[in-house]
Structure 1
């Protein structure tokens, strides 16, 4: 098509300059080529409505994966920003991640998984993968020289984002390391393929994991990011007297709420009197009360313990009954929040009236602990069910007539009694709009050892605490589902209904290659 080659080359060079990985560059390139071939136009000339229609057809009717959708959207955003078409980039639809509930393996199941492969190489690969927390490509490209036994660490080179990092090496892996080297005798890479001195392929590693799971009959879907300990549910609130500042500076106000609550838990966790270890947190922002009025507060999930300086797990002193004293948390949180708020107001040339400031410092700020979670599974169930709610759900809206909206709510002042509240449509919308967060604001955040950068440390702790994360259970293909649910053979010839369709060519998951039509013609000729 006219002009495609030149603009495509510019796009390819731009993505290269952004230091994206080779696989990501290929995915983006295939996505742009696939879209352009479909419309026989370059993306400049395709409207947002046409793109949305194409994506809908690919994901709903042709059952393309969420990965296909994601790469197409990100590729188009890169494209439109490259050519100063930001309005189109902003108009691209958002991507919703799939969520799943995890299950934790028992210690016995962990042992069975490690013992299932016959090969020492495969057994050590499994232990190393889960014990170190390395990604697939990081594991493949790990060299023997990158393992430092004296310092008990692994030097990961060019990991995600082209960054180097160090990962803690567990004692279990150190004990088996020399035995592995003597028996397997790798030359350069720790896990080599059939060719000496060359790294093992990604598919080979995936096959080893699948086979190990198959031999043990493990069919559980497990999370890799939680530990088998008690989790506390802490709520940090803000006095309603500060709602004016929240409405005026929402982004800064909510950031202060996150930071003050996080620093409170971190400070008390580091204090030997209370714990003496680094803890972790998952914080979720909610801004509403039952009556839809502004009520900013943070729900925080905190494990009942932390990681000491020596890298070992230390349980909370309360033995799972409570985290820290509520009064202590309330006073510390109040001081940190007010200090940060005053700095913000000075930057904005604003201030808090002296009587209000005195009142805020004299009142008890509400910080309370709900009943602790019973384990990782209940934590994930809570996160999946509660954290992504909005201010009001449809089932609470009871009636909409003649400009009056009636909805149900719990009156906590009278023992959580269910009541109904009528509001004018204007007032209902005003209250609802109070809870629209600033653009690109993250309402869910991970801190401490639960932050993404600390996942490798979690893997080591999981092993020492007798748990083991595994890959998700393989899902049935769409052909298998169609056959079992509808009793319909999709491979049957649509003309004679007796013969089978013959596959001429297979494409990767994201998009066909650019010159697939010419390749298909050659296949037919042979």
Structure 2
């Protein structure tokens, strides 16, 4: 490991950044070094300016990917190399697009057509709690508090912990799952054994297969279940600040985006959760 890489890791650790953030920063710096076949320490401002322009003009990267790259490189020069740019860094404007929104009927069909009990339970929990995929796969048995009907999320986005409310229907589903699989550490463990958590790719694959079997043709991803949870809860009357807590948004303005995506008002996600007692 090079001293520069170690310094970058140390600076991330000092600030309490998550492993995922650290790894994205490292990747961004690696891409910069590969582009010039030179250490970032030796690059001139003119080279950096050319690289920033190449991200969108030559490589055609998405706006989100460019932001990730710029964040990592900016962190390196500001906090590790203690160097300021003498160039103007143009941050591309993020397009405001409405995500693919699933109806309650579509969510129910997708879950019902998930053929493996483990992944079916994971999809129910993903939707029933409005989780992120990385949060879901890191759930441990000890994170579930049945008496308080809560789920403790450790090191969510922004490296923050939070408690998420579990409905009684979902709690029953999780108890049935545990009695079947008898998880000891990771709630959803890998086929390699209980010592290993299930991988993100495996869950995404199960979701795509369930969509195909359910006949859902929308271009959605597993993250669409989180969007569905948020919109369905707002439709059901959940206060915005409570939804912010459930989703783990640092800024309530992020949660407010869902207000602009709402179709006609219906009942909330909790109604669908109650129906899942019959979905085995």
TM (norm. structure 1) is: 0.42
**After the TM superposition, which of the residue ranges 53-62 and 153-162 deviates more from structure 2?**
53-62
Would you say 1:73 and 2:100 are equivalent positions?
no
Q: Deviations over 1:92-127 (max 9, x none)?
A: 221432432245433332221111012222211110
Structure 1 residue 203 corresponds to structure 2 residue 201: yes
Select 2:167's aligned residue among 167, 170, 176.
170
**Deviation digits for residues 287-311 of structure 1, max 9, x if unmatched?**
xxxxxxxxxxxxxxxxxxx99xxx9
- The partner residue of 1:64 within 61, 64, 68 is 61
List gaps (5 residues or longer) in structure 2. 259-266, 274-280
Rg bigger for which structure? 1
Distance 2:254 2:40 in 1: 43
The reply to whether residue 19 of structure 1 matches residue 24 of structure 2 is no
Measured in 2, the distance between the counterparts of 1:219 and 1:162 equals: 35
C-alpha separation in 2, matches of 1:70 and 1:35: 14
**Structure 2 counterpart of 1:110, from 107, 111, 136:** 107
Report the Cα distance in structure 1 between the residues aligned to 2:167 and 2:13, rounded to whole angstroms: 37
CA distance in 1, matches of 2:138, 2:25: 24
Q: Is the 8 A contact 1:138 1:159 kept in 2?
A: yes
Q: Measure the CA separation in 1 of the matches of 2:233 and 2:143.
A: 31
- CA, structure 1 residues 52+466, in 2 after alignment: closer, same or farther (shift >3 Å)? farther
More helix by share: 2
Could you tell me whether the CA contact under 8 Å between 1:155 and 1:167 is conserved in 2? Answer: yes
- Report the alpha carbon displacement of residue 48 of structure 1 after superposing the two structures with TM: 3.8
Cα displacement (A) at 1:37: 3.6
1:32 & 1:147 partners in 2: Cα distance? 38
Match of residue 226 from structure 1: 231
Cα shift at 1:157: 2.0
Matches within 5 A, 1:288-367: none
What's the CA shift string for 1:466-514, capped at 9, x where partnerless?
Answer: 59xxxxxxxxxxxxxxxxxxxxxxxxxxxxxxxxxxxxxxxxxxxxxxx
Q: How far, CA to CA, are the matches of 2:68 and 2:120 in structure 1? A: 34
- Paired with 2:101 and 2:21, the residues of 1 have a C-alpha distance of 32
Give the unaligned 5+ runs of structure 1.
231-276, 282-305, 312-444, 453-460, 468-526
Deviation at 1:213, TM superposition (A): 1.4
Q: Which residue does 1:51 correspond to in 2?
A: 48
Distance in 2 (alpha carbons) for counterparts of 1:104 and 1:37: 39
**Aligned residue pairs: how many?**
249
User: RMSD between aligned alpha carbons?
Assistant: 3.4
Superposed displacement of residue 67, structure 1: 4.4
Structure 1 CA distance for aligned equivalents of residues 36 and 253 of structure 2: 45
In the alignment, is residue 86 of structure 1 matched against residue 84 of structure 2?
Answer: yes
